[in-house]
Amino acid sequence: MYWKKVLRRVVYGIMMYIVMVLIYSTLFNSVADRTMRSQIDEQVAQEVTRYRNLSEAQLTTLIAERKAGKIRQYHLDESLVSRIFWRSVRTLGFDFGNSTTIKASTGSRSVIAIIGEALPRTIVLFTTEVVLVTGLGIAMGLYAARRPNGLFDRSNSMVTMITNGLPSWWLAMLAIMVFAYAIPIFPSGGLHVNPAPTGLAGLVDYLWHLALPLLTLVLLGIWGTAYLVRNIVLSNLQEDFVMAARARGISERKVLFGHTLRTSMPAIMTLAVLGLFSSIAGNIIVEGIFGWPGIGNLYFVAVQQNDVPILMATLSIETLFTMVGFVILDLIYGFLDPRIKLGGRS
């Protein structure tokens, strides 16, 4: 039964996610507790300013009572295991609380609001990149696989080797040095000029700022993808059914696109889907260098300022997305390749 297997896979995914959140919660336990306590102190101090007509003694007991209540509410007075457990429960319910220092552009300290601001920017840059890289990479890989050891294939493999160990952020530094300072045709970073233009001019300005980071990432990324696609397709081209198809006189074009691409689809989809879902994590360093205030940038600022609520939230959201990617992959494998059975060994 397909839906039963789907259900089993989804439940399994959720369980893995819960374990991951528990790990994060343990990792950040001591700092997160301290943050929580100081946030409670702050909150209570703000609340009691309303009670002006109370005496000094009454005020002290009130503050103590309020604090004790809050501490009980967040389970901070309980054992280590229970504190980790309750923080995980809050994280799983997307209750990330307030950040320690980082603020959204509206001034809000709600973690959801801060991430909600950064996430779309990362998606615009990195998800676009993944889409472009995968599309172009598949086309180039197929082209290379048509003539293995041909000129295009060999030069593609060569460039892949060269770009293999090349840090994308280093290329970003060079790109800025050349195209923003030596030949100033692109801005050196940021989202828009100040003040931000509106309407069509705003869109053009946005695209202009997007161009250099996007070009850098795409130009570096396509080679590896193309090489992988080429390897996947080539290994399928050696299967017996391809030889049989060729023996039947089917055109090379049809063999490549019809037979081989179809059987290569699960592996290629793995590339595409995992790339797409993990792209929301952005790239910590590249975002920093281009001054692109997305998730990666937010994460690094949070590390520097020890903003644990933000760290906890970004890590768990990233993991959630990756997890969803894995589950979706397992589910579509069945459609792409009927030979693959979902999960079970039956």
Partner 1 sequence: MNLKDTTESLRDSWREFAKVKSGLFGLAILGAFLLLGIFGVYLVPFPGATEHWRDINFWQDNPQAAPPAWTNLFAARKGVSSTVLANPKAGTENQDNGVAVRTFSFDYDFGADEPPRDIIVRLTGDGPVPVIITVDRPDSLSAEIYRAQLDLSPLSPARVSLVRNSAQAIVEFVRSQDPELATNMSADLIKPFGILFSKLGKEVATAPTALKGKYRIVVTALQLSSDFKVNTPSLIVSGHVSGILGTDSSKRDIFTGIVIGIRWALIIGILTSVVSVIAGVLLGIIAAYFGGAVDWMLTRLYELIYLLPVLPFLIVVSAIFKPSIWTFITLVCLFFWTGSYKTVYSMALQIKEETFVEASKALGSGSWRIVFRHISPILLPYSFASMALSIPAIIVYEASVSLLGLGDASIVSWGQILESALSQGAVINNLWWWVIPPGLMIALMGMSFAFLGTALDKILHPKLKTR
Binding site for partner 1 (CB under 8 A): 16, 19-20, 23, 27, 148-149, 157-158, 160-167, 169-171, 173-174, 176-177, 181-182, 188, 231, 234-235, 237-238, 278, 281, 284-285, 288-289, 299-300, 303-304, 306, 311, 314-315, 318-319, 322-323, 326
Min dist CB 34 to partner 1, Å, is 13
Q: Pick left, alpha or beta for residue 184 (phi over 0 → left; psi -120 to 50 → alpha; otherwise beta).
A: beta
Q: Which is nearer to partner 1, 80 or 162 (CB)?
A: 162
Cα–Cα dist 149/155, whole Å:
9
Min dist CB 96 to partner 1, Å, is 16
Q: Which residues pair with 110 in a beta bridge?
A: 98
Coil vs helix vs strand at 40? helix
C-beta neighbour count of 81 within 10 angstroms: 9
Q: Which is nearer to partner 1, 39 or 314 (CB)?
A: 314
Q: Which is nearer to partner 1, 25 or 44 (CB)?
A: 25
Q: Which residues pair with 98 in a beta bridge?
A: 110
**DSSP labels, 72-94:** HHTTTTS-HHHHHHHHHHHHHTT
3-state secondary structure 159-212: HHHHHHCCCHHHHHHHHHHHHHHHCCCCCCCCCCCCCCCCHHHHHHHHHHHHHH
Q: Which is nearer to partner 1, 170 or 241 (CB)?
A: 170
Q: Which is nearer to partner 1, 108 or 231 (CB)?
A: 231
Min dist CB 249 to partner 1, Å, is 18
Q: Which is nearer to partner 1, 74 or 299 (CB)?
A: 299
Min dist CB 332 to partner 1, Å, is 19
Min dist CB 179 to partner 1, Å, is 12
CA angle 147, 240, 236 (to 5 degrees): 45
Min dist CB 181 to partner 1, Å, is 6
In the numeric block, which tokens belong to residue 6? 């789907």
